[in-house]
Amino acid sequence: MYMNVYLLFVSISHMTDTHSNTSTVTLIILGMASHSRTGPKSARKRKCFPDSVSYPSYSDIDSQAPKPLPFKPIHPFGIDLGSMRQAVQSTSNMMLREIYFFMLFFTQAVVADICSFTNRQGWELVLNCPSYSSYQGAWMEVTPDEFYRFLGLLIYIGFSILPDSHRHWGTKSLQGSWARGFMSHDRYKALLAALHVVDPTTDDNQDRLRKLHYLMDHLKQKCQQLFRPNQNLAIDERMVKSKARSGFKQYMKGKPTRWGFKLWVIATSDSGYTLVFNVYTGSHDGRVTDLATKVVESLLQPFKDQGHNVWFDNFYTSPALMVKLFEMGTNACGTCRVIVNCFLQNLKTSYDGNARQLVGI
C-alpha cells in the first residue's frame, strides 16, 4: 500500500559571495516524496530536485523594471481651508479654539440638516412614546445651538469613566452639576432616541449603512477638501471600538482593539491624516472573491492618474493588484508572504529570475 506525502518548505537565505561581494537570495524548495509503508527504503520512489535556485539581489541593476509614474497632483500639497475659515470665524483671523477645527467638519449647514432630520423623526417618536414629548405633549424641536451642546455631551461621556450615562446627572458628584448646566437628562434621552443623520423618508432597507450614508459622505468630502496629500499614501485596516449590538461588528485577534467596527482606510504616510474610509459590513452577500483588490480600487478612486505611491501590507499584495494599480496611474509597493501570496498564486508562472517581480514591485 502506497501513500503520497507532499512536503513543501520554502525558505529564503542570504548568502555572501566572497569573490563578488554581492548578496544572493536563494530559494530552496523541497518537494514531493512518495514511499511505501511495507517496502524497503531502497525500493521507495524518489524524485530529485535542484538544491537551489539563485536570483539577483535587490542591489543589482534591474533593466526590466518599469519606470515609476511621475507625480502629477491635481491640487498642491498642504492644508486648504479656503472659504471654510470665514465660515467658522467672525472676528478673528486665526483659528485659536478647538471648536473652530471641529466646525470645519461639522459645519453649520450639515448640523442644520441633521436637526431637520431629527425633528422629523422626533414628531413620529412622540406619537409612539409620549414620555419623550414636552409638557404640552408635543415634540420640542432641536436647534443647531442645542445640537452642538448635545454633541459636546456625547464626546464628554465617551471619555468619562462612569459606568452609566445617567450618573452624569446625579446629585452626589460635581459631574452631575456640570451636565445639568447644559441640558436635562430627559432632554438628552429624547435627543438620543430621535437622533437621525439621514432623511428618514429615504431609508433603503437593502443597505446596512443606510442610516449613516449622509454623514459619512459629508465627512469623506471634508477630509479630502481640507487637506491635500503628498505623494506617499498608506492603506490599512482600522478598528473602532464598540460594544453595540450590530450584525457587522468584527473580531480581530491580536489587535489592540479586538471587537468593534472595521474600517478600510487610506491615509497620508507622513502624518497619518485620514483621507478616505469605508466601513466593512461583513460578507452578508456571500464570500467576496478578491476582497483586497476591490478595497484598494475603491479607496483610490479620488487619486487616480496622479502618480501617488501607495504602500500596504501582505493582505493586499498580489501581482494582479499591482498591474491594476499601474493601469490606474498609481505606483504601489507592499510586503509579501512568499509562501502564501506569491508562490501559491503564481505556481503556474515561470519566474524570469527577477527578485523584484517575486514580491510584486
Nearest C-alpha neighbor of 147 from the set 183, 181, 171, 120: 183
Same domain for 238 and 351, yes or no, is: yes
DSSP string, 235-286: EEEEEEE-----TT-EE-TTSSS-EEEEEEEEEETTT--EEEEEE---STTS
DSSP string, 129-187: -GGGS-TTSS-----HHHHHHHHHHHHHHHH---SSGGGGG-SSSHHHHHHHTT--HHH
3-state secondary structure of 233: strand
> Three cell numbers at 42?
531502497
Report CA-CA distances (Å) from 206 to 202, 203, 278: 12, 9, 17
What gap in Å lies between CA 55 and CA 355, rounded to an integer? Answer: 6
* Percentage of the chain modeled with pLDDT above 90: 26
Domain assignment present for residue 333? The answer is yes
Q: Which residue segment(s) compose the domain that 334 sits in?
A: 230-358
How many residues does the structure list for the chain? Answer: 361
3-state secondary structure of 202: helix
Same domain for 236 and 349, yes or no, is: yes
Same domain for 250 and 326, yes or no, is: yes
End-to-end CA gap in the chain: 47
C-alpha torsion 216→218→222→223, nearest 10: 10
Of 42-46, 167-171, 329-333, 338-342, where does mean pLDDT reach its minimum?
A: 42-46
Same domain for 243 and 353, yes or no, is: yes
DSSP letter for 30, please.
E
- Residue 260, by phi and psi: left (phi above 0), alpha (psi -120 to 50) or beta? left
- Dihedral pair phi/psi, residue 178, rounded to 5°: -70, -45
Nearest C-alpha neighbor of 114 from the set 201, 211, 196: 196
| pTM score over 0.85 | no
Same domain for 245 and 351, yes or no, is: yes
138 or 63: which leads in pLDDT: 138
Each residue's pLDDT tens digit, 75-115: 888 887 765 555 555 444 566 788 888 888 999 999 999 99
Each residue's pLDDT tens digit, 56-79: 676 777 777 678 889 998 888 888
| Predicted local confidence at residue 36, as pLDDT | 40
Residue 335 scores a pLDDT above 70: yes
Each residue's pLDDT tens digit, 150-172: 999 988 888 877 778 888 888 77
| Predicted local confidence at residue 268, as pLDDT | 94
Domain assignment present for residue 84? The answer is no
The CATH number of whichever domain residue 334 belongs to comes to 3.30.420
Burial of 191 (0-12, 13-18, 19+ CB in 10 A): buried
Each residue's pLDDT tens digit, 140-151: 999 999 999 999
253-273 exposure pattern, b = at least 16 Cβ within 10 A, e = fewer = eeeeeeebbbbbbbbbeeeee
Domain count, the chain: 3
Domain assignment present for residue 340? The answer is yes
Domain assignment present for residue 215? The answer is no
Confidence of residue 135 (pLDDT cuts 50, 70, 90): confident
Confidence of residue 275 (pLDDT cuts 50, 70, 90): very high
3-state secondary structure of 111: helix
Same domain for 342 and 241, yes or no, is: yes
Each residue's pLDDT tens digit, 203-247: 666 777 888 889 999 999 999 989 999 999 999 999 988 877 877
